[in-house]
Amino acid sequence: MSADTSEAQAGAAPQRSPSRLRVAVIDRDPGFLQVLTNRLDALRWDHRALSSAVTAEVLVAMRLNALVVDVAVLGPGSWEYLERVCARLPGLAVIVCTGPSSVVQRVRGLRLGADAWVTKPCHPEELICVMEAAVRRHRRTEMPAIEAAATVGEVTIRPDLYQAYRGTASLELTAREFEILHLLVQSDRVLRREEIYERVWGYAMAHGDRSVDVFVRKLRQKLRTASPEWSYIHTHFGVGYRFAPEADNGRPSEVDERQDAELSADLLDEEAGLDPAFAG
Amino acid sequence: MSADTSEAQAGAAPQRSPSRLRVAVIDRDPGFLQVLTNRLDALRWDHRALSSAVTAEVLVAMRLNALVVDVAVLGPGSWEYLERVCARLPGLAVIVCTGPSSVVQRVRGLRLGADAWVTKPCHPEELICVMEAAVRRHRRTEMPAIEAAATVGEVTIRPDLYQAYRGTASLELTAREFEILHLLVQSDRVLRREEIYERVWGYAMAHGDRSVDVFVRKLRQKLRTASPEWSYIHTHFGVGYRFAPEADNGRPSEVDERQDAELSADLLDEEAGLDPAFAG
DNA sequence: TTGCGTGTAAAGATCCTGTTACCGGAATCG
DNA sequence: CGATTCCGGTAACAGGATCTTTACACGCAA
């Protein structure tokens, strides 16, 4: 999954999208699985149901964020299994979701490394919230993923440096200029001024505000200085702005065509199911 | 605190105390408090009971690992309080422990940032296990193996000694100064002030706090004294700070050149479809 | 052509950062 | 136990960078 694709799909909230979580559920209760699956589909989480225990190595290969397990399914050796999985995947959120249990059992499960214990029957929404809480807590201490750089036309966008470059030469964009450029590049479609303003400034644009226009002008100026043979930001009269690198000599540039080809390839990847570990 | 012997572990981030956990309980049920207190004493955890809500600032000053709260005690505004506390202290494990509740309430609490929801009456041992699980998840990633020394530009970072050196001469960094330097060196990208603050201090930065700036100044001063020919910490106006050793005489140092060379490699990585979020 | 939307430019207001001084608590030392 | 030193944190100021506002010119569409 390339950064471009994930952002495109996120669409609504690209800046803080926790992206799709990966979850596996070890359970055999058809009703439980049905209901949970529906909710997970609605949330667009990657999920998979397992009817019995799989080795920790397989779980590693799945690159999960969370694991929901009914210890009743595991039968004897369930405690050892739980302990092994928690030890082998310290970054995995493990939620035990099972029928009535004793305090001793719950204490034991939590001490072995489970992050939460939910008693069936339970509302799927609550279980999902518990998963979110466990994953959220884990991610908080993680280093935020460094967003990948992207090259469009002759300029390279570097989210990790808050800057754009032509080769190794910085465009010297200010923070706000970079944010607008970054947004336009990611969106890859016409954006209305109100949309740009709201997503960059964080609140609604006042009527008659020309700030976006002024910033687009500054951006165009710096882009032209750095890369005079190309045009990048296009005005759609009465609508807004759109980013698309185009070489001045007629054709929309081979680079652009190549990117279009990649885009569809990414989308195909996504439709195919993202991860080989989940495909089988 | 139970033993108000002011901070045996001074100045250190709250997560650092390895054995004794600090817990506050916001509750009024004498029976509940009595039983829980006994168990916490037996475990030798630092604990304190509060009969009503205290401000987030006071909680910060307490340097807690976990907070147990009965939302019934908070009365109206309990949700806002919960949200405020969770936002202000992202590193604090918050456990709601209260009487019978609806799914909607539990979902709301968890979504606002609570780490777990335990229903009274509950066994104290189970509540303690839930606290442990929440706190444990934090530390798992907090306590990495002692890292190797790293030399950047002319200075050497020694995480094992909590100090930086130019050759054999110590820079005489204070604890906070070292933590900030260490974080910047590790990150290798622009870090916003809020990010730096949260990772070093352990809780959210208050609006308008200039502590990071002041510490960066102190760091720069000591770095300049020890290694005058280089510049290390770069300001990104409107964004934050970035660490990158650069020799004053023209060339940006071999480290930086290597990064530029890697630029194209990064792009290839992206096109190959690697997702940093799942790379672990 | 007219009216409205957009490009351009510059001035003023605002925000951001570097810097310094200062205060209170903690640790150290006598 | 008190004095001293060190450290972390806060407030204030000045200079500079950035953003917003305003004005006017230009171009597109009806």
Which DSSP letter does residue B276 get?
Answer: G
**Sign of CA pseudo-dihedral A66, A92, B275, B188:** positive
Nucleotide minimizing C1' to CA distance for residue A238: C5
**Given this model, what pLDDT does residue B250 score?**
55
Please, are residues B99 and B119 in contact by the beta-carbon 8 Å criterion?
yes
Give the tokens for residue A232. 């990048």
- Report the predicted TM-score, pTM, of the whole model to 2 decimal places: 0.78
Mark the nucleotides of strand D covered by protein, meaning any atom under 7 Å from a CB: 6-12, 17-23, 28-29
Smallest CA–C1' separation from B210: which nucleotide? Answer: D10
Nearest by Cα to B166 from B115, B128, B222, B87: B222
Taking the CA of residue B110 and the nearest CA in chain A, the distance in Å comes to 6
Cβ pair B110:A125 closer than 8 A: no
Pairing state between β A169-170 and A163-166 = antiparallel
Tell me if B112 sits within 8 A of B141, measured CB to CB. Answer: no
Which residues, including other chains, have CB under 8 Å from residue A56's CB and lie 6 or more apart?
A84, A85, A88, A89
Does residue A202 have a pLDDT over 50? yes
- How many residue pairs from chains A and B have C-beta atoms closer than 8 A? 129
Q: How many CB atoms lie within 10 A of CB A146?
A: 13
**Of B53, B132, B224, whose CA–CA distance to A107 is shortest?**
B132
Alpha-carbon Rg for chain B in angstroms: 23
pLDDT of residue B126: 97
Return the minimum-mean-pLDDT range out of A119-123, A264-268, B170-174.
A264-268
The neighbour count for residue B109, using CB atoms within 10 Å, is: 27
User: Which residue type, as a one-letter code, is found at position B272?
Assistant: A
The residues that bridge with A47 in the sheet, in sequence order, are A23
- Which of A12, A51, A91 lies closest to B278 in space, CA to CA? A91
Distance (Å) from the alpha carbon of B104 to chain A's nearest alpha carbon? 8
Question: Which B-chain residues 68-127 have CB contacts (< 8 A) with chain A?
Answer: 90-91, 93, 103, 106-107, 110-111, 113-116, 123, 125-126
Mean pLDDT for A57-85 is 94
Distances (CA, A) of B239 to A177, B183, B189, B198: 12, 16, 11, 15
Q: Which residues of chain B have a pLDDT value below 70?
A: 1-19, 138-146, 249-280
Q: Do A103 and B123 touch (CB under 8 A)?
A: yes
Going along A140-183, which residue ranges are E strands?
150-152, 155-158, 163-166, 169-170
Give dist(CA A95, CA B210) in Å, integer.
Answer: 41
Give A28 to chain B, closest Cα distance, Å. 24
CA A25 to chain centre: 21
Q: What is the pLDDT of residue B253?
A: 54
The answer to whether A22 contacts chain B (CB < 8 Å) is: yes
Q: What is the pLDDT of residue B179?
A: 96
Whether residue A58 lies within 8 A of chain B, CB to CB, comes out as: no
Q: pLDDT by residue (tens digit) across A227-243?
A: 999 999 999 999 999 99
Q: Which residue has the tokens 């699956």?
A: A37
Q: What is the C-alpha radius of gyration for chain A, rounded to an integer number of angstroms?
A: 24
Beta strands, E only, chain B: 22-26, 46-50, 66-69, 93-98, 116-119, 150-152, 155-158, 163-166, 169-170, 191-192, 230-236, 240-247
Question: Which two tokens mark B204?
Answer: 């959210």
Predicted local distance difference test score (pLDDT) of residue A164: 97
Tell me, what's the pLDDT at B138?
67
DSSP β-bridge partners for residue B241: B191, B235
Per-residue confidence (pLDDT) for residue B90, from 0 to 100? 87
Contacts of B152 (CB under 8 A, 6+ apart): B185, B232, B243, B245, B255
Q: Which amino acid is at B11?
A: G
pLDDT of A252 > 70? The answer is: no
pLDDT score at A144: 64
